[in-house]
Amino acid sequence: MLIALLIAGFWPKPVPVESAEVMIGNLRATVNEEGKTRIRQRYVVSSPVSGQLRRISFKAGAEVIAHQTVIAMIDPLLPTLLDVRTRATVEARRDTAAANLERVKTNHHFAANELHRFEKLFASNTISVQELESAQLRESTAAKEQVAAESELRQAEAELQELGAISGSTNNLCPTTEIKAPATGKVLRVFEENARVVTAGTPLVEIGDPADLEVVIEVLSRDGAATPIGAKVEFEQWGGGTPMMGRVRIVEPAAFTKVSALGVEEQRVNVIAELLTPPEQRVNVGDNFRVEAKIIIWEAPDALKVAAGSLFRQEDHWATFVIGNGRAQLRTVRAGRSSGTEMQVLDGLKRGEQVILYPGSRVHAGQRVKKIKI
């Protein structure tokens, strides 16, 4: 009796283990990353001319209609005020040019008469060829000086006429320029709200349609290469109760380097997904909103799967402990896709078998085990 009690006391007790069942069900592999919404078509309205911008009354969120809503008005610039000194200077320049023209006209007239006399003298062999050519040069120079003086006088008169027109009236100024919305949507941003002088090309307002959204998802380049076009996407943590649905439209062909929060350089690429959820079910989602994206790169409705915590690496293959007759049996497994918490079983396990979760070093082949409920 004593010997039996001693044997029972020292006999190894079964190791309590957690277990999971091998089952058939839906399994999918996903890429989980953060994303940001953006409006697909956005328009930055710029000033087409230089002028005085009137105050823009629109605020962010205001609705506009294409080619109807006037979003900005630009008046022509007012002429610069002229003082007495400016007018006197221009008038003096005009008078100087007129006097200079009279002088060069006289010189040209004299040079022309002189050339006429020298031509007669040369015809009678009274003067040499050199004297005739000198007279011709003087006449040509005087003619060119007269042309230059006439041009200078016209320029001075044009400046004086322009100043008189500016100081007299502003009826010749260009009319007010109206800038209309290029597309139907809402005002996203007002760059220039207050009235001020703007130059041509100055950004004024940004317009877009918040209902026409897409999502930009930054993923690792290896995940981007594995993402098929048309893959389904679920968007969570966007502020609503149910996930928004989407579809991958394009994976951009160029990746970029980004430093992670841990200081590690990563090669990432943008995956662009279009939203399939109707706009009326996501009315509060706007431009540059943060979402949690789950890209489904593979899915099988009837996959043989097992909990990922039951598999471990043994040399160059996967293995697990199967519970059979109260003992742990080591089994080699060929695994397929993983969802993170579950893995696809291609070979080595059957439906309904019980496997040990997180066996660690306390479980070995042939050891007695006892399932516990968690």
pLDDT at 168 over 70: no
pLDDT reading at 37 higher than 60: yes
Confidence of residue 199 (pLDDT cuts 50, 70, 90): very high
Give yes or no: residues 185 and 64 share one domain.
Answer: yes
Query: What CATH number has the domain bearing residue 93?
Result: 1.10.287
**Judgement on whether residues 107 and 255 belong to the same structural domain of the protein:** no
Q: If you average pLDDT over residues 97-116, what whole number do you get?
A: 89
In this structure, are 185 and 62 located in the same domain? yes
Do residue 242 and residue 271 come from a single domain?
Answer: yes
Residues 351 and 289 in one domain: no
- Cα distances from 8 to residues 4, 267, 289, in angstroms, run 6, 61, 66
Asked if residue 131 belongs to a domain, the reply is yes
184: enclosing H helix or E strand: none
Can you give the residue range of the structural domain that contains 68?
Answer: 49-78+175-207
Query: Exposure of 310 by Cβ count < 10 A (0-12 exposed, 13-18 middle, 19+ buried)?
Result: buried
Q: Is residue 98 part of a domain?
A: yes
223 and 293, same domain (yes or no): yes
Mean pLDDT of 200-214: 92
Q: Based on the domain organization, do 146 and 195 belong to the same domain?
A: no
Residue 84 has pLDDT above 80, yes or no: no
Task: Indicate whether 140 and 106 sit together in one domain.
Answer: yes
Give CA–CA dist 20/355, Å, rounded. 5
Tell whether 216 and 277 lie within a shared domain: yes
Q: Contact 217/273 with Cβ under 8 angstroms?
A: yes
What are the tens digits of pLDDT across the range 329-349?
999 999 999 988 899 999 999
Does position 165 have pLDDT exceeding 60, yes or no?
A: no
> Do 203 and 54 fall into the same domain?
yes
Pick the range with the lowest mean pLDDT from 76-90, 186-200, 236-250, 287-301. 76-90
On whether both 90 and 137 belong to a single domain, the answer is yes
DSSP states along 21-77: E-EEEEEEEEEEEEEEEEESSEEEEE-SS-EEEPPP---TT-EE-TTT-EEEEEEPP
**The total number of structural domains that make up the chain:** 4
Contact between 200 and 177 (Cβ < 8 Å): no
As a whole-number percent, the residues of the chain with pLDDT over 90 amount to 53
Domain boundary among 243, 271, 300: 300
pLDDT at residue 372, as a whole number? 82
Domain's final residue, options 190, 207, 224: 207
pLDDT (mean) for 120-124: 84
Does the model's pTM come out above 0.75?
no
